[in-house]
A and B are shown apart, each in its own frame.
Chain A
Amino acid sequence: MSNIANAFKNGKAFIPFVTCGDPDLETTAKIVREAVANGADLVELGIPFSDPTAEGPVIQGANIRALKAETTTDKVFDLVRDLRKDVTIPLVFMTYANVVFSYGGEKFISTCAEIGIDGIILPDLPYEEKEEFQPICDKYGVDLISMIAPTSANRIAMIAKEAKGFLYVVSSLGVTGARSEIKTDIKSLVDIVRANSDIPCAIGFGISTPEQAKAMADISDGAIVGSAVVRIIEQYGKDAPKYVGEFVGKMKSAL
């Protein structure tokens, strides 16, 4: 069992997402430390990609800002090396398959293991294509995180049985971004997972308020919040760490 399991030992998990390098890597480091200090149980670190096809406008904007600031995969690795001097909670990367593939799967994943990254989320790598990186992830003990969506239906059991680390449950159709209402019957998705696996489930996409986070955490093991965090960073820039910290504290205490 990887370090990721520890994220789910402190009650319901709160998992914020940040795009590394938005607005710059120094600020990202401060944001992550503030999030940890305020109760984040796991942090998703986004490595920016030029064409993030699973993201809504808010996180697309973060990717553009981070690339404009000349963020690269190697610089993100350095950020993690710095964070690991004092941050002990699980950290996972969220990026796109080409970022890993282009760097060299083995080189990327072995570096993850070396610097203390516990898992990788690739929204454009479904079950059918996970062989691309799964054997390498197994070799280096890095969890390749699986996702299920409201449209997964007959695929849920198959995905859950082989899932590693935690299962990312996509709450709604469409791309990332805050939603006023989450209509999917997520509980029934989680029930199918529970019947097939004891993997922790965290729900993401569309969650922005403490009420939504609590409702989602009540029916799973945790809530993932991306766009709402990124919007704070977009608004406050270099001054964002304090505000993100406050937001994380508020969200965690609501769970």
Chain B
Amino acid sequence: MKMTNKNGRFGIHGGQYIPETLMNAVIELEEAYNHYKNDPDFNRELQELLDEYAGRPSGLYYADKLTRTLGGAKIYLKREDLNHTGSHKINNVLGQALLAKKMGKTRLIAETGAGQHGVATATAAALMDMECVVFMGEEDTKRQALNVYRMELLGAKVIPVTSGTATLKDAVSEAMREWTSRIDDTHYCLGSVMGPHPFPTIVRDFQAVISRESRAQILEKEGRLPDAVIACVGGGSNAIGSFYNYINDEGVKLIGCEAAGRGIDTFETAATVNTGRLGIFHGMKSYFCQDEYGQIAPVYSISAGLDYPGVGPEHAYLYDIGRAEYVPVTDDEAVNAFEFLSRTEGIIPAIESAHAVAYAMKLAPTMDKDKIIVVTISGRGDKDCAAIARYRGVNINE
């Protein structure tokens, strides 16, 4: 299926809704990407980084105890949490940092929500000898203080963003503002499948390694494709990476789990596909949580990484054509899944990934035992322990 057309459209979604100041920068990026994506040296270098540095391929683990406890479909976990830096974010960052380096850029800027993309970018910058500045909502710097420290330890400068709701969307806005002021030496290392073309395509291609591996792994282990693939969706990078190589396999259900926060019938939610409508923001046409006049909504989720009022344009398109479904998962359900997976499998998932686990916990018991589900564990949960403890009223004196 050819997904992209002119100006990076996915159906009606996508596009390049950005200030004129940035247009030549994204055109230059697209040209460079189109050149290097077919360059054998570039691909060899990237593969080596993914294998030797990031620790790929990541395992596809059969969660036997989880499967037996839930008593339904067999559950496999795609272990992106085992990557270097602890999440899937490194896949995209190594690709973009290498591309930026080839383009002669010496400085990376990035936005971050939970801090995982910021940590991954700071890591790549350290490795490749580049300057790094990360924009992070002030609210998130408090929720994810450990990741702020990690980024600084890696040599990055972290700038707390106080505008708007002081969360991920404001970090994106601020990174865009910074990019318009300094383009020559700076690459904006966008962390999700969002923003103006070509970012949704570039990030998707770098994250597609998740489903390229999982497809081959499940075929090897089970001799067949899974019945469902489940991943959490904020902007949607781990989900698109988890879905991409199954899009043409019509028998494989693709399920994105959105952060419903306190519920999709409340205003404290970040479930974009379930509660938003079509709009234009952050460089793209897609679905956004917004009011009747198009003011972007101050969304909420316990997960800083899913706390974003939009969704990547390719997800919006997969939803439109009915190829993927997007289900809401509340804070409560995610926290329960966070604890449940920790106890049953000894795997502490990121609170983002726990949204996907929560839905698998609902779905698996409704399916026959010969069915197969692949759940992407997009990241590890160490960063979330303090926040979950707080949620449960436990003071761990961090």
Q: Mark A115-128, 1 if CB is under 8 A from B, else 0.
A: 00000000111111
Known contacts A51-B281, A98-B281, A175-B181: A127-B23 contact under CB 8 Å:
yes
Q: Is the CB of A155 within 8 A of B23?
A: yes
List the A residue with the shortest CB-CB distance to B177: A175
Known contacts A170-B21, A173-B183: A102-B294 contact under CB 8 Å:
yes
- Report the Cα distance A126→B196, complex, angstroms: 11
Q: Is A129 an interface residue (CB 8 A)?
A: yes
Known contacts A51-B281, A98-B279: A173-B296 contact under CB 8 Å:
no
Q: Mark B1-44, 1 if CB is under 8 A from A, else 0.
A: 00000010000000111111111110000000000000000000
Q: Is A80 an interface residue (CB 8 A)?
A: no
Q: Is the CB of B279 within 8 A of A53?
A: no
Q: Is A140 an interface residue (CB 8 A)?
A: no
Known contacts A97-B280, A98-B280: A103-B23 contact under CB 8 Å:
no
**B294 to chain A: closest CB distance in Å?**
3
Q: Is the CB of A148 within 8 A of B294?
A: no
Q: Is the CB of B177 within 8 A of A53?
A: yes
Q: Mark A176-196, 1 if CB is under 8 A from B, else 0.
A: 000000000000000000000
How many residue pairs at the A-B interface have CB separations less than 8 Å?
115
Known contacts A128-B7, A173-B181: A50-B20 contact under CB 8 Å:
no
Known contacts A49-B295, A51-B169, A67-B295: A101-B280 contact under CB 8 Å:
yes
Q: Is the CB of B25 within 8 A of A151?
A: yes
Known contacts A155-B23, A173-B180: A50-B18 contact under CB 8 Å:
no
Residues of B within 8 A of A157 (CB): none
* B contact residues, total (Cβ < 8 Å): 36
**B182 to chain A: closest CB distance in Å?**
7
**A253 to chain B: closest CB distance in Å?**
31
- Report the Cα distance A79→B22, complex, angstroms: 33
**B107 to chain A: closest CB distance in Å?**
14
- Report the Cα distance A184→B165, complex, angstroms: 34
Q: Is B211 an interface residue (CB 8 A)?
A: no
Q: Is the CB of B296 within 8 A of A53?
A: no
Q: Which of B182, B278, B281, B282 neighbours the largest number of chain A CB atoms within 10 Å of its CB?
A: B281
Q: Is A69 an interface residue (CB 8 A)?
A: no
Known contacts A51-B173, A102-B279: A152-B16 contact under CB 8 Å:
no
Residues of B within 8 A of A98 (CB): 279-281, 288, 290, 294, 296
**A163 to chain B: closest CB distance in Å?**
12
List the A residue with the shortest CB-CB distance to B288: A98
CB interface residues, A 203-226, toward B, < 8 Å: none
- Report the Cα distance A152→B16, complex, angstroms: 15
CB interface residues, A 86-121, toward B, < 8 Å: 96-103
**B308 to chain A: closest CB distance in Å?**
12
Q: Is A174 an interface residue (CB 8 A)?
A: yes
Q: Is the CB of B20 within 8 A of A53?
A: no
Residues of B within 8 A of A56 (CB): 177
Q: Is B163 an interface residue (CB 8 A)?
A: yes
Q: Is B176 an interface residue (CB 8 A)?
A: yes
Q: Is the CB of B281 within 8 A of A60?
A: no
CB interface residues, B 279-323, toward A, < 8 Å: 279-283, 288, 290, 292-296
**A177 to chain B: closest CB distance in Å?**
10
Q: Which of A49, A97, A149, A174 makes the CB contact (< 8 A) with B20?
A: A149
**A136 to chain B: closest CB distance in Å?**
15
Residues of A within 8 A of B295 (CB): 49-50, 67
**A31 to chain B: closest CB distance in Å?**
22
Residues of B within 8 A of A51 (CB): 164, 169-170, 173, 281, 296
Known contacts A51-B164, A151-B183, A152-B23: A124-B18 contact under CB 8 Å:
yes
Q: Is the CB of B23 within 8 A of A126?
A: yes
**A53 to chain B: closest CB distance in Å?**
5
Q: Which of A125, A132, A151, A174 makes the CB contact (< 8 A) with B24?
A: A151
Q: Is A40 an interface residue (CB 8 A)?
A: no
Residues of A within 8 A of B293 (CB): 72-74, 99, 102-103
Q: Is A147 an interface residue (CB 8 A)?
A: yes
Q: Is the CB of A129 within 8 A of B296?
A: no
Q: Which of B170, B180, B279 makes the CB contact (< 8 A) with A101?
A: B279
Q: Which of A74, A129, A175 makes the CB contact (< 8 A) with B180?
A: A175
- Report the Cα distance A68→B261, complex, angstroms: 25
Q: Is A37 an interface residue (CB 8 A)?
A: no
Known contacts A98-B279, A151-B183: A129-B169 contact under CB 8 Å:
no
Q: Is the CB of A101 within 8 A of B20?
A: no
Residues of A within 8 A of B7 (CB): 128-129
Q: Is the CB of A99 within 8 A of B181?
A: no
List the B residue with the shortest CB-CB distance to A174: B181
User: 18 interchain pairs (CB within 8 A)?
Assistant: A51-B173, A56-B177, A102-B279, A103-B294, A123-B19, A123-B20, A124-B17, A124-B19, A126-B18, A132-B280, A147-B19, A151-B20, A152-B24, A170-B19, A170-B21, A173-B182, A174-B21, A174-B181
10 interchain residue pairs of minimum CB distance? A102-B294, A174-B181, A149-B21, A50-B295, A97-B280, A98-B294, A50-B296, A149-B20, A147-B20, A98-B280
- Chain B positions within 8 Å of A, measured between CB atoms, are 7, 15-25, 163-164, 169-170, 173, 176-177, 180-183, 278-283, 288, 290, 292-296
Contacts A51-B296, A124-B280 known; list 17 others, CB within 8 Å. Answer: A51-B169, A57-B163, A73-B294, A98-B296, A102-B290, A102-B293, A123-B19, A125-B17, A126-B16, A126-B18, A128-B16, A151-B22, A151-B24, A152-B23, A152-B24, A173-B181, A175-B177
